[in-house]
Amino acid sequence: MGKAIRDIYGETLAELGAENSDIVVLDADLSGSTKSKVFGQKFPDRFFNMGIAESDMVSCAAGLASVGKIPFVNTFTVFLTTLGLIATRAQVCYGNLNVKLAGAYCGMSDALDGATHHATEDIAAMRALPNMQVIVPSDPASARWATRYAAAHEGPVYLRLSRSEYPELYPGDTEFSPGKAKIVREGTDCTVFAIGILVHKALEAAELLAAEGISVQVVDLLSVKPIDAGLVAACAAKTGAVVCAEEHQIYGGAGSAVAEVLAHAGVGAPTEFVGIQDVFTETGKYDSLLAAYGLDAEAVAAAAKRAMERK
Amino acid sequence: MELTIQRQNELEALCLRFRKEVLTAIHKAQSGHPGGSLSVCEILTLLYQHRMNIPAPDDPDRDRLVLCKGHAAPMQYRNLIEKGFLPADCMDTLRQLGSPLQGHPAMHTPGVDMPSGPLGIGLAAAQGMAIGLKLNGSAARVYAVLGDGELDEGAVWEAAASAPKFRLDNLCAIVDYNKVQLDGTTDEIMPLRDLEAKWQAFGWHVVRVDGHDLRALNKAFDAAEATKDVPTVIIADTVKGKGVSFMEGQAGWHGKAIDADSYNKAMAELGGAN
């Protein structure tokens, strides 16, 4: 059934390595965890373990890209997007260099390691950078596509990956398009715009609400930047109530991106934000963390009802 | 690489011109970094005008240079103009809106190989270029020009650790060791202690040289090219503000606009405007 997103990424990266000799891979002493090791074992001459030195790693990738290589940079999401941020901004993005940043453990997926290892502000940082694209896979097929797209696209890409297993959502032959969202469930009363694991929670919520006669539409954003503005505005206008759901702080993430689109389009739909509510998280089992911080199906369903009540 | 007396004289004349034109540009812009632009003059001029192989700014096999101390950009720009990669009259537009000459080096400026300005991260990017060029089978060399104040940044030492691991003998770092940073001397602000021993301990081939002596610098670059399996760092003893007596060794001239009186006095010391 489902498969850990990091495993899909690691396998796909190794496939890409066989197809394109310009692909090089860097890791900061976490290749066993990020699964970049799969590539490293097959292509040791194109794999660079930089030690625990994230800034060095991202800058090195910028240099590699500037001479024609396609570097994939790997470490835990939180370290990549904090310690690696100055190089990402000043070299990768300002230079518009062909670097792929793969944040392995998004949100609370490195659950037991606690708040220091949870990545809950990364989208805010990455989507604010000019030239950067931000992609969040939600299942094995989309993770495979996102990894391949990153390699094919000329320019900086941020892949928000997960340590966790996500259920299958899309058939293997599904066609994805850059910058395009997917409606994964049609509905008329409220739209949930979700990313990553929250797409699955939103689908569960839609089932719960269907039993109460409420029709919920679920949109998998997939690309937070660029965002599928046309589809977002149309869905919000159609249902008149909106929930944004993400494993990220409520400030600056996918929900903020949706709100920007709706404000600009003049769609005045009441909107609820499901995410980390401006707090630091805790240690715990992943599912209990998702429930504790209001990121489960029940929380999404409750948010949908609140949004609908405010229509 | 041979440096004849005649060529040395030509380069010295170029250095004098570049000093004057860089000061003129910084004076006109009423913004910029005179001190560190003057200290790095011979290093950049010898590399760009004598040693580096750059048939075109986008040639895949060209030698690369990362000006890690990006605030010395005016001296890099003047060198790129001399190479013919930028219009001759563009120094007048330094730091102005729409200019190809940004306050710090930008990738869209022809001849700039990596954006720079935030200190500490340039050496690691130069390392990436050196790795990539080796993978490409290119014989090109990569130069990373660092400031000494920049060595306060921890990221420099991440790259100092990793470049020898990857045996990057096509990489040469140069420390413009002028002993002065923005707020004071390097000894006052953050002592660098035994720089040669530090780089040696990280696994580098270390050369110490007078950074204003073209002949000595040229020999140091020869020694770097002859060294296999490890990268070389050239610790170049320089004088901040070199060539203008009242700027020499003065932290106050790190990043200060040049007023009219100081400008005229500086130009007179350098032998008058061109």
Could you give the C-alpha distances from B45 to A47, A140, B71, B85, B241, in angstroms and in order?
A: 36, 54, 16, 15, 16
Q: Scanning every residue of chain A, which has its alpha carbon at the shortest distance from the alpha carbon of B132?
A: A64
Give the side-chain half-sphere CA count within 13 A for B38: 31
CB-nearest partner of B161 from A24, A51, A95:
A51
Residue pLDDT, tens place only, B127-169: 999 999 999 999 999 999 999 999 999 999 999 999 999 999 9
Chain B residues touching A59 at Cβ < 8 A? 121-125, 127-128, 155, 159
% residues pLDDT > 70 (chain A): 99
**Closest CB to B135 among A61, A69, A86:** A69
Active site residue A54: yes
Q: What are the tokens at A37? A: 């090791």
* CB-nearest partner of A86 from B66, B121, B159: B121
Determine the distance in angstroms separating the CA of B76 from the nearest CA of chain A, rounded to an integer.
18
pLDDT at A3: 80
Q: Which of residues 229-258 of B touch A (CB under 8 A)?
A: none
SS (H, E, C) chain A: CCEEHHHHHHHHHHHHHHHCCCEEEEECCCHHHHCCHHHHHHCHHHEEECCCCHHHHHHHHHHHHHCCCEEEEEECHHHHCCCCHHHHHHHHHCCCCCCEEEECCCECCCHHHCHHHCECCHHHHHHCCCCCEEECCCCHHHHHHHHHHHHHCCCCEEEECCCCEECCCCCCCCCCCCCCCEEEECCCCEEEEECCHHHHHHHHHHHHHHCCCCCEEEEECCEEECCCHHHHHHHHHHHCCEEEEEEEECCCCHHHHHHHHHHHHCCCCCEEEEEECCCCCCCCCHHHHHHHCCCCHHHHHHHHHHHHHCC
Q: How many residues does the structure list for chain A? A: 311
Judged by a CB distance cut-off of 8 A, whether residue B65 touches chain A is no
Among A63, A86, A94, beta carbon nearest to B126:
A63
pLDDT higher than 90, residue A1: no
Looking at the complex, does the CB of residue B211 fall below 8 Å from at least one CB of chain A? no
Q: Which of B59, B108, B121, B142 to mutate to test the interface with A (most CBs of A within 10 A)?
A: B121
Q: How far is CA A197 from CA A109, A247, A285, in A?
A: 10, 7, 15
Residue type for position B180: V
- What is the percent of chain B with per-residue pLDDT over 70, rounded to a whole number? 99
Interface predicted TM-score (ipTM) of this complex, two decimals: 0.97
- pLDDT number for residue A2: 61
Q: Report the amino acid identity of residue B14.
A: L
pLDDT beyond 90 at B272: no
CB-CB contact of B158 with A83 (8 Å): no
Q: Which two structure tokens, joined as six digits, stand for A296? A: 């489960």
Whole-prediction pTM value? 0.97
Going by C-alpha positions, the residue among B111, B19, B16, B130 that lies closest to residue B67 is B111
Q: Which residues of A touch B158 (CB under 8 A)?
A: 50-51, 53, 55-56
Average pLDDT, chain A: 97
Tokens of A208: 């719960």
> Do the Cβ atoms of B68 and B147 come closer than 8 Å?
yes
Q: What is the mean pLDDT of residues A73-95?
A: 98
- The arithmetic mean of pLDDT across residues A130-154, rounded, is 98
Q: Is B105 on the interface with A (CB under 8 A)?
A: no
Closest of A185, A158, A42, A63 to residue A104, by C-alpha: A158
